[in-house]
A and B are shown apart, each in its own frame.
Chain A
Amino acid sequence: MTAEQLIYIMLLLPVLGAVGIAIVGRIENIQEAVTLATAVGLLVAVLALLEVVLAGGRPATGKFEIIQGVELYFAAEPLGMLFACVASSLWIINSIYSIGYMRGNNEPRQTSFYVCFAVAIAGAMGVSMAGNLFTLFLFYEILTLSTYPLVTHKGTDEARAGGRLYLLLLLGTSMALLLPAIIWTGVIAGTMDFVPGGILSGKISGVFVAVLLGLYMFGIGKAALMPVHFWLPAAMVAPTPVSALLHAVAVVKAGVFTVVKVIIYVFGYEFLASALDFNWLVYVAGFTIIAASLVALQQDNLKRRLAYSTVSQLSYVVMATAILAPISIMGAVLHIAAHAFGKITLFFAAGSIYTAAHKTEISQLNGIGRKMPWTMGAFAIAAISMIGLPPTAGFMSKWYMLMGAIQVEHYFAIGVIILSTLLNAGYFMPIVYNAFFKQPDSKKGKHDDHGEAPMPIVIALTATAIGTVLLFFFSGVPLELAQQVVGK
């Protein structure tokens, strides 16, 4: 089995899974079994390819020309491998969670749910393995289109409105900003391939660099840089497994992945550092971090608070990359993985609370920690990771980001990181405190007699919470990948 074949397997397996699920559709247990089997198979393939890449290999598939000068091809490299590993491992856990959630809440149209999920994962795999800008764009759009039905899943007016905003904003930014940026790059650089060190060196200068960077950064709507972030809170109308997928596994990670990929493999961070007169990106990202955290503080709806937290955390990655120092870029890469595990746990917990207790607002959560210890315990661990304290993965990524900022003496960035850490504590810690240390409200609600959530949900969130801690202790592989990305 060559590495090239592994890449194809990574792409085809989720698609075949989707087809399989569509065929066996109505039979309940079979469709989940197919999902899980596909997910496990995918992880195996990804891990096999990981070995090759860690050893320094950069396998690539053959080029398939679509239009003259526009090729479709795939190439594995460390950044993509990181994304692929995160996505495929979390898909398994998310599938387990989905089983519990969908059954626990008796959600309708489960088949289309699993099918769209599988297609979305295929899109994510395509994004991770893309060898040039066109291939990335193709799968980026597939990701948008396949997640739209997931967002609108509930079928209520709210869900439809949310779905509309989601689709319009993401397609809008990608078609109006990202595509012209890609065409522009192709025209001036003569190629659209991803090359370490970038393809634009010497081809563009002056204010055009900033403009092109802007087209890319705001065109990659999935990275939720303000002001193109509105789709993210709007997508909260989706069922929680979808939110978990969107906010940890596929969509937002594809966004920041693309941001890092473009900065490193299209511009080249050294070229960008020299060519960019005014590094506006750090300021925009920094602003997003703080503003989103402030908004999160004011949200009472748990999922909305988590949504704004995501916006903020994504801009950590953008800002750390924008600083253009190797160490902070490593931190950004690590944060892709760290935030994934942490955020998915948080969303799992939110869904678990909804499934078991039918509560959605934070003010209703007093004392719930006693009835749902596993859920809130996992929530607490993940919250610590978001804040960036040891022994969680979040601490590692934040450490590198801070070190990088200090190294280039970027005081704005340092300030932002410190301030936002405090803000994170401000909006996460009260939830944990209230859950464990406050008495539940005296009014008896309908669902106050409840225990933990169904077993699959509990398994899932425990797994990801443990994963967050494990990433701290066994950080070898992510660190190695991050180092290879910056080329040290």
Chain B
Amino acid sequence: MIEAQLPALQVIIPLFGAVLTALVRHDKASWGIALIVSLMMPVISFALLQQVLATETGIISYALGGWAPPLGIEYRIDLANAFILLLVSVMGALVMAYAPRSVTAEIGRDRASWFYTMYLLCLTGLLGIAITGDAFNIFVFLEVSSLATYVLIALGKDKRAVLSAYQYLIIGTIGATFYVIGIGLLYVMTGTLNLADIANRIGNIEQTRTVLAALAFLTVGISLKLALFPLHVWLPNAYAYAPSVATAFLASTATKVAVYLLLRIFFSVFGVALVFNTLPVSEILLTLSVAAMFGASIVAVFQSNVKRMLAYSSVAQIGYITLGIALANQTGLTGGIVHLFNHALIKGALFLSLGCLVYRMGIVKIEDMSGIGRRMPYTMAAFTVAGLSLIGVPGTVGFVSKWYLAQGAFENGLWWLVAAIMLSSLIAVVYIGRVIEVAYFRDVTAKPITPNRVPLEMLGVTWLLAAATIYFGIDTELTAGMASKAAEILLAGPK
């Protein structure tokens, strides 16, 4: 009985959890609630995944409140979003397990419960975007998660955190509003808000100016959320000044869900034929992706704030993901989707290890990390492993993504693109190598180090993620296999 209600529970439980933590002002209790909720999420997501794999059509449809679609709001889950749900909930659970001491240290005991409230709201929003099949519902969840994100960022220790939150608010709201404009135009033309229904009705009005304008608004709006170059301006500051836990969570989930949204709009609503064959979306996306891959990587090399450097690295990695989408063939799209997952693991591990460093030493700049490889060997080891994955050394997840992307590029005959993928990975060697060099091959810094060791849960989760970057680089059946099937489903188009 409860299995049938799982889709709704996936969203309702964190929502109520958020309310609960807002009422319970005690920091440890709030964390407890947040942890329990976060641990329930992967269970539900996994159950949903099993359900999707078990059904014949590969789609679960759940009518919220019993109101039948297309008039009622429908939660529609196929393999693509089941994958995303699993990713978001697992990352959320891991980050929550890591969180308590880091949050208390960076945000303070009196504000900690607000952090957990916002985190749960953000989780609600992200899961909601991934699970729903109604276009306006997506907007609602999008704004729920965005507003929560703005607050999460603003809670950072540095006073520039509020400024970054404000900047993100302005840009993010513009993005969401563009999305709403796009949906509005589509609604006017098709008369429905249900994504699947729009796909059905859009057939003969595809080429009208209104629908094309809708596609344009949707793309730009989602690209703002996705931090696609050149709409990425909010990201570096936001990631740099937010609390470490928030950065780790956001880096692994927020942009990924936005990518999923783009995939839905492109493939399941408008369809490959219109978007990639008729319109020059592929070329535009390709150019922007390559610009992101190179531009952002190069800027990352020159950063002195280590979180900022990783933020620019994220922009570059998002370029890889959109590259996979731009290729629009089976291998390329698989590469993009699998990199979605892999990058979440990698950046999660990197930011969490930075969180450990911040916890113990208040590290902000790369120079502060001088010689830290000897003082905090386990943390730096996790950072190194995740860094190698970022570079794409074979045997790590980064290599798997690059392999698929390169093959996808080969299949489309784009030789220069293969070279571009490899060369941009080289730039990653430079900025990761810089950190590793400073950490291991320089004299120990004069910066004072707190006597308490890094708490076990923080180190444990960091290491779990770092190890996952190697494990999923060797056993790729779960990730690449599912990504491949998801790509197949998406490329098949609207049903």
Contact = CB atoms under 8 A, between A and B. Distances in A.
A179 B418 CA distance: 10
B459 interface: no
A95 to B, nearest CB: 23
A160 B443 CA distance: 12
Contact of A67 (B422, B429, B437, B476): B476
A175 B422 contact: yes
Interface string A138-172: 10011001000100100100011001100110011
B441 interface: yes
Nearest to A155: B441
A175 to B, nearest CB: 5
Given A67-B404, A70-B403, A167 B433 contact: yes
- For A72, A164, A179, the residue with the greatest tally of chain B CB atoms inside 10 Å of its CB is A179
A168 B440 contact: no
Contacts of A187: 407, 410-411
Contacts of B475: 66
A230 to B, nearest CB: 16
A242 to B, nearest CB: 14
A30 interface: no
B480 A67 contact: yes
Given A164-B433, A167-B429, A141 B393 contact: yes
A67 B393 CA distance: 14
B19 interface: no
The main secondary structure of chain A at its interface with chain B is: helix
A265 interface: no
A474 interface: no
B388 A145 contact: yes
Interface in A52-68: 66-68
A176 interface: yes
Contacts of A171: 391, 426, 429
Interface in B151-170: none
A201 B156 CA distance: 61
B394 interface: yes
A23 to B, nearest CB: 14
Interface in A222-274: none
A183 B331 CA distance: 13
A160 B391 CA distance: 20
Given A141-B394, A163-B441, A183 B426 contact: no
Interface in A98-148: 134, 137-138, 141-142, 145
B32 to A, nearest CB: 38
Contacts, number: 75
- For A168, A175, A176, the residue with the greatest tally of chain B CB atoms inside 10 Å of its CB is A175
B395 interface: yes
A183 B406 contact: yes
Contact of B400 (A67, A152, A155): A67
A183 B429 contact: no
Contact of B480 (A68, A138, A145, A159): A68
Interface string B401-432: 00110110011000000110011011001100
Contacts of B441: 149, 152, 155, 159-160, 163
A138 B394 contact: yes
Contacts of B422: 175-176, 179-180
Contacts of A176: 419, 422-423, 426
A175 B396 CA distance: 14
A412 interface: no
Given A66-B476, A159-B441, A163-B441, A183 B433 contact: no
Contacts of B426: 168, 171-172, 175-176
Contacts of A175: 392, 422, 425-426, 429
Nearest to B443: A155
Contact of A183 (B400, B418, B480): B418
A433 interface: no
A184 interface: yes
Contacts of B437: 152, 160, 163-164
Given A138-B394, A152-B441, A180 B403 contact: no
Contacts of B406: 179-180, 183
A134 B395 CA distance: 10
A480 B400 CA distance: 39
B23 interface: no
Contacts of A72: 474
A168 B429 contact: yes
A70 B473 CA distance: 12
> Which 6 residue pairs of A and B lie closest in terms of their CB atoms, listed nearest first?
A138-B394, A176-B422, A175-B422, A152-B441, A180-B418, A183-B406
Interface of B: 388, 391-395, 400, 403-404, 406-407, 410-411, 418-419, 422-423, 425-426, 429-430, 433, 437, 440-443, 473-476, 480, 484
